[in-house]
Amino acid sequence: MRLVSGGSDWNVLLWDVQRAGGKGGALRAFEGHSYAVRCLAMADTSSPGEKEKMLIASGSDDESLIVWDPRASGSGKVKQLSGGAPVLSCCWGPGGNWIAAGGGMPMNSMAGTTDKVAGWLRVWDARTWKLIDECTCLGEAELRGQGSEQYPPLPE
């Protein structure tokens, strides 16, 4: 059984929880983020009867989603995708054919670097890495600027 972990040390670790009675070290470390890792997801990409193949995705406060292949040599990095704001969640579609990630500004942070700080969700095709779809939720300031009923424009 495999498990991945990540945290404030910026690293992603792959573990085999059955190895050495669960007391062994990590099987592999993946380094590539420049801030804390906030979310992780694993995808089983093996075909029936095939030896285990997987991809790992990690999202970070560095505004990136990185896809890793534990079987690859070197860093294991397959692709780095930009979120434009901290990546707070990610998940794989069936068979690892697509990956979704979401994020935005955590309420306790002032670290956003783009206008997509109120929230976003993106889906990429994992075979081509092309963006399939995205949704951006506007923050209160942007809604006020549009003059919605819920958020009328601020008086001048």
Question: Alpha-carbon distance 11 to 82, whole Å?
Answer: 18
Question: Alpha-carbon distance 76 to 73, whole Å?
Answer: 6
R_g (Cα) of the chain, nearest Å:
18
Map residue 12 onto helix, strand or coil: strand
Contact 143, 153 (CB under 8 A): no
Residues 6+ apart with CB under 8 A from 111: 61, 86, 105
Q: Tens digit of pLDDT for each residue in 126-141?
A: 999 999 998 877 555 4
Structure-model confidence comparison of residues 74 and 156, the more confident one: 74
Q: Which pTM value belongs to this model? A: 0.78
pLDDT score recorded for residue 149: 52
Q: Tens digit of pLDDT for each residue in 82-118?
A: 988 899 999 999 989 999 999 987 544 555 544 445 6
Per the prediction, the chain carries an average pLDDT of 81
In 3-state terms, the chain is what percent helix, strand and coil (to 5)?
Answer: 10, 40, 50
